[in-house]
Amino acid sequence: MSKARIEILQMIAEGKVSPEDGARLLDALDDGDAGATKTGNPRAGRAKESAKDAAENLGRAFEDAARAVKSAAQEGVRAAQKVFDEHRPETELVRLENGAFEVPEGGTLRIQPAFRVSIGGGSAGGAVTVRGIPGAQVRVLEGSAVEVHKNEGDYILTWAKSALVVEVPATLARLVVRSFGNVTLSEFGNQFRIESFGGNVSALGASAPFKIRALGGSVRIRDLALREGTAAVRATGGDIDVIPTEEASVEIHAAATLGGRLQLPKGAVRSDSKTRRKGVVVLGEGKSELELDALSGWVRVHADHLEDDPDADQASNASRASSYGTASGPGSESEFGDEPTNTGRSNRTGSGSDGEGDSGSNVPKHDATARPAPPKARTSPDEPSPGADLDDDDPDPWTVDWYDDRDPGGSKP
């Protein structure tokens, strides 16, 4: 087998080239080999055009991949800048009493890893579990080297080396979580933003505008109850799985690129191209809006009360089991429920170790054990949705400005 044929088959297996484009490239190779021994082949012209089309599609796929890599690099730089927010001169240290501190009503809490550099090397925080509770206190149940700083109305909580378990009050106006591992959020009804680099994200019961970004991991939103505002989810190198409630009132715009697939409820309007799959579906009255964008992954919207679209992209049981993987470690089985989900390309959960700094020693240990209505008419599939928080400099109107620190979304007209 020729080297060129092996490379084409490898690209198909990795999802870099669709099976159709791969078949055309293989046919072009066969026709080229035949043409070397037989002149005047009437298929030569058609084969040349077929190879040209396949090459153009392949070029577009590589352009998408290049944009994804560039975006990931920018995100890494910006995330590193955010990590050192607590060391700005204007910040002040907040003391923890028995692992707890108060945040005034309407405040913002930012949870992010802190890099600690020592003789043994550097360290960063692992998996994060956040639960909403009544009251006005933030309680750290588990974590090492925990510190809290205040910068105007923002409270910045950092930790290192281990998994982090935190309870946050319902009086928070906004929650921001950044992690280099899995992130699990439950029972929090206000606006939030989650960014995970190398881990999975699980959110239970989201009912207010939010943004979720996972690089090298999958996202699962269970019991989605969004009824106003806009929300957005993007996964690079992972799947997006959304399970809405019957009370949800949301217009969902889904997109999958670089070999990704869509599985949407019955009634979805599809607008697929050779390099990208798109779909729109309305649940309830569609008063809110949710954008789902997966690079090299599945986008799946499903629930017991929804009927699957018979024309949805299909995968074999073995393929889907491989895609969603098996749950393991913090932020996996207990949060994802009885349905398996992808653990991402990296499942970093951190390693528990003794904390550093005075505040870490004060942290107590915790035993962490309707069918849709017809879609609304749009001018074109690429038209930005009303009220969506988009980056005007990005040529792709479906891409949210992930580093806009304003509220995740306002009311949808």
Whether 254 is in a domain gets the answer yes
128-158: pLDDT as tens digits = 999 999 999 999 999 988 999 998 889 999 9
- 168 and 236 inside one domain: yes
Q: How many C-beta atoms lie closer than 10 Å to residue 209's C-beta?
A: 27
Alpha helices in 88-174 (DSSP H): none
Q: What is the total count of domains within the chain?
A: 2
Cα dihedral 115/117/121/125 (nearest 10): -20
User: Which range in 106-120, 273-287, 323-337, 385-399 is most confidently predicted, on average pLDDT?
Assistant: 273-287
Identify the domain boundary among 83, 115, 150: 83
Whether 345 is in a domain gets the answer yes
Whether 114 is in a domain gets the answer no
What DSSP element (H or E) covers 57? helix 43-83
Confidence of residue 357 (pLDDT cuts 50, 70, 90): very low
20-56: pLDDT as tens digits = 666 667 666 665 555 544 445 555 555 555 555 555 5
- 72 and 164 inside one domain: no
Give 76 or 194, the one with higher predicted confidence: 194
Whether 248 is in a domain gets the answer yes
Whether 376 is in a domain gets the answer no
- 78 and 129 inside one domain: no
- 243 and 296 inside one domain: yes
Beta-carbon-side half-sphere exposure of residue 22 (alpha carbons within 13 Å): 17
List the domain range (segments joined by +) for residue 229.
Answer: 125-133+160-350
- 210 and 295 inside one domain: yes
- 26 and 173 inside one domain: no
How far apart (Å, rounded) are the C-alpha atoms in residues 337 and 333?
Answer: 6
- 282 and 343 inside one domain: yes
Length reported for the chain: 413
Question: How much is the pLDDT for 306?
Answer: 92
- 191 and 309 inside one domain: yes
Identify the domain boundary among 49, 65, 83: 83
- Average pLDDT over the chain reads 71
How far apart (Å, rounded) are the C-alpha atoms in residues 33 and 51?
Answer: 14
User: Which range in 130-134, 334-338, 391-395 is most confidently predicted, on average pLDDT?
Assistant: 130-134
How far apart (Å, rounded) are the C-alpha atoms in residues 152 and 234?
Answer: 30
Whether 374 is in a domain gets the answer no
CB-CB contact of 103 with 149 (8 Å) = no
Identify the domain boundary among 327, 350, 373: 350
Mean local confidence (pLDDT), 382-387? 38
- 168 and 26 inside one domain: no
What DSSP element (H or E) covers 288? strand 288-295
Whether 28 is in a domain gets the answer yes
- 228 and 308 inside one domain: yes
- 192 and 255 inside one domain: yes
Confidence of residue 161 (pLDDT cuts 50, 70, 90): confident
Tell whether the model's pLDDT for residue 11 goes beyond 90. no
Whether 200 is in a domain gets the answer yes
Residue with tokens 């084409």: 8
Give 377 or 28, the one with higher predicted confidence: 28
- 224 and 333 inside one domain: yes
